Amino acid sequence: MPEQSTSHLDPASVRRVVDAALREDGAHHDVTTNALVPGDQLGNAYVVAKADGVLAGVPVAQCAFELLDNCVIISPIMPEGAVLKVGDRVLELEGPFAPILSGERVALNFLQRLSGVATATRRLVEAIAGTQARIVDTRKTTPGLRELERYAVHVGGGQNHRFNLSDGVLIKDNHIAAARNRDLSITQVVEQARRDVAHTLRIEIEVTTFDEADEALRAGADVILLDNMPATEMRRVVEHVQGRAMLEASGGVTFETVRGIAETGVDLISVGAITHSAPTLDLSLELDL
């Protein structure tokens, strides 16, 4: 049940998250820079790519420097979503060196993290090109950074699943286990959810077998999540459902397996790894002396 993709960042949210990061890092009381760099020393600096990847998070990095000193002029060189090669300059900075140095780590932390998410997402999106499937994220995000990481997924070409637990009904294996402990079937679970939640919300349920998928379909589930299901079984479910419900594949998705999963005909492939395990993209800030 993908929600509308987070295609832009809320400036107030960015400011709140970045301000917290700057305070955590003690950037307003940088004893090393305060001791060694005069406040009136001016110059230029730039952020450069040390690895190939996809750029995301420039507005967040900009915010870090602006919150420390609005005299720092930040000029993006590469747009969000740009494919970077080693040595590419990402953005340039001009102004007092002190706030540039004090904000360096926080700005790079965000820029590297979000670019890593965008890079991991783009890799999977390109791997399934030509199929009807779409790559979507999950709630397996860094606490406090969900909005930023979902944005990076969008920059990488993916789409967003529900933002939080209030956005949609997703009946997981433990919900089903708890219901079965009360002698409820999948059909009864779906019917109860339909009765008890707003009519505007879609009902999604996780299944692991063809028979469970069939029962969920007959119960009227809007979305059926095929959890860790072999590709041959997924294809069988796709042929049986024939578009009567949206089908989402999840569980253990890798770059090596994602194409085969997409070719079964599922609509969505949710991948927690694009947020919880994406390697950061190596970027560096250099003074232009």
How many structural domains comprise the chain? 2
CA torsion sign for 235, 241, 244, 248 is: negative
User: Is residue 185 in some structural domain?
Assistant: yes
- Find out whether 250 and 227 touch, Cβ atoms under 8 Å: yes
SS3 category, 44: strand
2 assigned to some structural domain: no
Q: What is the pLDDT of residue 5?
A: 52
**Strand bridging mode 42-49 / 89-96:** antiparallel
Whether 4 is covered by a domain: the verdict is no
Whether residue 223 sits in one domain with residue 82: no
What number of other Cβ atoms are within 10 A of residue 138's Cβ?
A: 17
**CA-CA distance, 227 to 203, in Å (whole number)?**
16
Same domain, 132 and 269: yes
Mark whether 19 and 68 lie in a shared domain.
yes
Domain co-membership, 180 together with 252: yes
107 is in which domain, residue-wise?
Answer: 11-119+278-288
Q: What residues are labeled active site? A: 105, 140, 172, 206, 227
85 in a structural domain: yes
Confidence (pLDDT) at 289: 85
Tell me: do 41 and 110 sit in the same domain: yes
Question: Quick one: pLDDT at residue 249?
Answer: 98
Tell whether 6 is covered by a domain: no
Structural domain contains residue 197: yes
Q: How far apart are CA 52 and CA 269, in angstroms?
A: 25
Q: Look at residues 92, 88, 96 and name the one whose alpha carbon lies nearest to residue 71.
A: 96
> Does residue 265 share a domain with residue 242?
yes
- Hey, what amino acid is at 131? T
Q: ∠ at Cα 191 (189, 192), nearest 5°? A: 65
Check residue 7 and give its pLDDT: 67
Q: Based on the domain organization, do 255 and 283 belong to the same domain? A: no
- Tell me, yes or no, whether 165 lies in a domain: yes
Asked if 1 and 246 touch (Cβ cutoff 8 Å), the reply is yes
- Per residue of the chain (289 residues), give pLDDT as tens: 555 456 689 999 999 999 999 999 999 999 999 999 999 999 999 999 999 999 999 999 999 999 999 999 999 999 999 999 999 999 999 999 999 999 999 999 999 999 999 999 999 999 999 999 999 999 999 999 999 999 999 999 999 999 999 999 999 999 999 999 999 999 999 999 999 999 999 999 999 999 999 999 999 999 999 999 999 999 999 999 999 999 999 998 999 999 999 999 999 999 999 999 999 999 999 999 8
* Residue 143: burial class (beta carbons within 10 Å; 0-12, 13-18, 19+): exposed
User: 98 and 137 share a domain?
Assistant: no
d(CA 11, CA 286): 27
The answer to whether residue 137 sits within a structural domain is yes
Residue 10 CA to its chain's centroid (Å): 15
Q: Are residues 20 and 97 in the same domain?
A: yes
CATH code (residue 109) = 3.90.1170.20
- CATH number, domain containing residue 190: 3.20.20.70
Q: Give pLDDT, residue 144.
A: 95
Instruction: Check whether residue 130 and residue 272 sit in a common domain.
Output: yes
pLDDT number for residue 137: 98
Q: CA 163 to CA 138: how far, in whole Å?
A: 8
Q: Within this chain, do residues 134 and 197 fall inside the same structural domain, yes or no?
A: yes
Same domain as 157, residue 105: no
